[in-house]
Amino acid sequence: PSLQDLRGSRVPPAQPCGDDEPMICTHTSGTTGVPKLVVHSPNTLLGVLTKLETMPLPGLSIRPDDIVATCIAFVHGRSITWSYAQLVRPPAKVVVIADSAPATVVETLREHRPTTLEACPNIFQRWENLTGTHPELFERVRAFINTFDAIHPRTVRAFLEASRRRMPVWGQVWGQTEVGPVCMGVYTRGKLRRSKGGRSPITNNVGRPIPLVTRVRVVDPQTRRPVRRGRSGLVMVKTKGRCLDYLGETDRHQAKIWDGWWNTGDIGVRSRDGSVRILDREVDVIPGTSGIQLESILLERLEEASEVIVLGVPGRRPVPVLSVEGDRGLDPERWRAATADLPELDEPVLIDWEDFPRTGTWKVRRAELRERLLGTQNTYGTGRWT
């Protein structure tokens, strides 16, 4: 039947499920293969994971006079918690950007100037040039928010500098569809200015575990025992918001639960102050360094680069894959200067920005990129916990 055939029909009664029963199924980003289907209940998704949305967070909580703009993947659990927040703490206006194309963003934000703006990290990266060509779009923003993935300092700095508010802030929420928000890092103009040119990108530090919601520990992948602060290992999470199952893959779900803790599949370091620094996905690890860190450093040093991905491949040096704005290409002298104090890298591979294979949240599919460009699926990591 068509929609017209249903007009005037009786509205069926609501059939709410139990608080601990499956309510919704959304999918993960799928950077390492076919996305997993994540099952959440009302308790796990709304009872726990929405706490961050309604906490009175200085500078980040929704205000009654806010114009809230968002550009996220609406097939992910994040869209459920975000929608809940708009109902519980309603702003003056909500602006939903379904198309991340820069031209669409300019047209939309020119008419609706936001005071808070949320997007996926790679979407912010795609919009970075707009901070130079159309800075007025972001001049009223007091709070920028990104979820789903780590973001690079250069991108954060560009948007914070475009805001004309006295003290704009950037909130980065690190987490997973399976367990929701885990840690939150907050960055200011001052932090970004002071950290510029450093060897330890500030945004790799994703902050501390969210109070009353999550606990974090870092363990040795082999022994499963906690490692000392300052040493790297698998990042484990404990939360009542952990998903119920992977639809049709219960064994895979159970294999990631270690003594009540959830194995995120990320390699990270717990600092002495309790904050967490993310190094890489376990499957993408590069011995002796961090691919994410190298990518942030290269983007800082090469303003002409619009994307940088460093791939670890056994038997050869890490391979940097770059896209460069315009027709300038990559000057060999600038490349040598940018990499002089970094671990030895292979010759850079240049491709167009559009040629990076991406997920629904614009993350780069590293496995597909590695196979397409280098003809191999071999990595240093095991990939057991992806």
Query: What's the CATH number where 242 sits?
Result: 3.40.50.12780
| Counts of helices then strands in the chain (DSSP H, E) | 13, 18
Instruction: Please tell me whether residues 263 and 348 are part of one structural domain.
Output: no
**pLDDT attached to residue 310:** 98
Residue 185, token pair as written in the block: 């890092």
Instruction: Please tell me whether residues 150 and 101 are part of one structural domain.
Output: yes
What phi and psi values does residue 32 have, to the nearest 5 degrees?
A: -110, 15
Instruction: Look at residue 380 and tell me if it is in a domain.
Output: no
Q: How far is CA 136 from the centre of its chain?
A: 25
- Measuring CA to CA, which residue among 75, 121, 130, 81 is closest to residue 98? 75
Instruction: Look at residue 129 and tell me if it is in a domain.
Output: yes
What phi and psi values does residue 164 have, to the nearest 5 degrees?
A: -105, 10
Instruction: Look at residue 383 and tell me if it is in a domain.
Output: no
Q: Which helix (H) or strand (E) holds 369?
A: helix 366-374
48 in Cβ contact with 241 (< 8 Å): yes
**pLDDT attached to residue 361:** 79
Instruction: Please tell me whether residues 265 and 152 are part of one structural domain.
Output: yes
- Residue at a domain's end among 252, 281, 310: 281
Q: How far is residue 125's CA from residue 159's CA, in Å, rounded to a whole number?
A: 10
- Residue at a domain's end among 248, 281, 314: 281
Instruction: Please tell me whether residues 297 and 269 are part of one structural domain.
Output: no
Task: Compute the C-alpha angle 136/123/62, nearest 5°.
Answer: 65
User: What global pTM score does this model have?
Assistant: 0.92
Instruction: Please tell me whether residues 260 and 344 are part of one structural domain.
Output: no
- Domain total for the chain? 2
Q: What is the mean pLDDT of each run of 10 residues along the chain (386 residues)?
A: 86 91 88 85 90 80 95 86 91 95 96 97 94 98 89 96 97 92 94 91 94 94 95 97 96 96 97 95 95 96 95 96 87 96 96 91 91 95 88
**pLDDT attached to residue 73:** 84
Sort strands 261-270 and 257-258 into parallel, antiparallel or unpaired: antiparallel
Instruction: Look at residue 360 and tell me if it is in a domain.
Output: yes
Domain membership of residue 165 as a residue range: 14-281
Instruction: Please tell me whether residues 301 and 169 are part of one structural domain.
Output: no
Instruction: Look at residue 382 and tell me if it is in a domain.
Output: no
Instruction: Look at residue 2 and tell me if it is in a domain.
Output: no
**pLDDT attached to residue 56:** 80
Instruction: Please tell me whether residues 274 and 309 are part of one structural domain.
Output: no
Helix, strand, or coil here: 132?
A: helix
**pLDDT attached to residue 344:** 96
Instruction: Please tell me whether residues 182 and 83 are part of one structural domain.
Output: yes
Instruction: Please tell me whether residues 123 and 236 are part of one structural domain.
Output: yes
Instruction: Please tell me whether residues 208 and 258 are part of one structural domain.
Output: yes
What phi and psi values does residue 93 have, to the nearest 5 degrees?
A: -155, 145
369: domain CATH number is 3.30.300.30
- Residue at a domain's end among 281, 306, 327: 281
Instruction: Look at residue 315 and tell me if it is in a domain.
Output: yes
**pLDDT attached to residue 49:** 84
Instruction: Please tell me whether residues 130 and 250 are part of one structural domain.
Output: yes
Buried b (16+ CB within 10 A) or exposed e, 292-316: bbbbbbbbbbbeebbbbbbbbbeee
Instruction: Look at residue 229 and tell me if it is in a domain.
Output: yes
Residue 22, token pair as written in the block: 């499956």
Q: How far is CA 74 from CA 126, 159, 279, in A?
A: 18, 23, 27
95 in Cβ contact with 69 (< 8 Å): yes
Instruction: Please tell me whether residues 216 and 96 are part of one structural domain.
Output: yes
**pLDDT attached to residue 115:** 98
